[in-house]
C-alpha cells in the first residue's frame, strides 16, 4: 500500500508506465489477462510468474483474488449496487 498519490495515479492510469518491480508488473499483466479473457492464459503465463519469483501457492492466491474481484464486481454491476 502506498500513500504516494502520484504513484497510485500512475498505476490507475496505466500500470505499464508506473515505476513497478518486474514481479509486480508480471502479476498485474496476469491479472489483466485473467480479467479480459482467462481462456487465453497458457502455461507460458504461469512460467513468467514463476520466473519473477512467484511459487505455485502465490500464483493460486493471485488467481483467486483477481477472480473474486472480477466476480463480485460483476454481481454488483448486475444488481446496480453503487449506482446513484
Q: What is the pTM of this model?
A: 0.84
**What is the rounded distance in angstroms from the CA atom of residue 54 to the CA atom of residue 47?**
9
Task: Give me the half-sphere count of Cα atoms (radius 13 Å) on the Cβ side of residue 53.
Answer: 6
> In this predicted model, which residue has the larger pLDDT, 50 or 4?
50
Q: 44-53: list long-range contacts, CB under 8 Å, 24+ apart.
A: 51/26, 52/22, 52/23, 52/26, 53/23
The predicted-structure confidence for 3-23, as pLDDT tens digits, reads as follows 688 888 888 888 888 889 999
First vs last Cα of the chain: how many Å apart?
Answer: 29
Domain borders along the chain are 20-79
Second CATH level (architecture) for the domain 20-79: Up-down Bundle (1.20)
Amino acid at each position: 500500500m502506498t500513500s504516494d498519490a502520484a504513484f497510485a495515479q500512475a498505476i490507475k492510469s496505466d500500470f505499464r508506465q508506473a515505476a513497478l518491480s518486474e514481479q509486480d508488473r508480471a502479476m498485474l499483466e496476469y491479472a489483466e489477462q485473467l480479467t479480459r479473457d482467462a481462456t487465453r492464459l497458457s502455461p507460458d503465463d504461469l512460467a513468467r510468474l514463476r520466473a519473477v519469483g512467484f511459487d505455485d501457492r502465490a500464483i493460486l492466491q493471485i488467481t483467486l483474488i483477481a477472480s473474486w474481484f472480477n466476480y463480485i464486481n460483476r454481481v454488483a454491476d448486475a444488481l446496480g449496487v453503487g449506482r446513484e
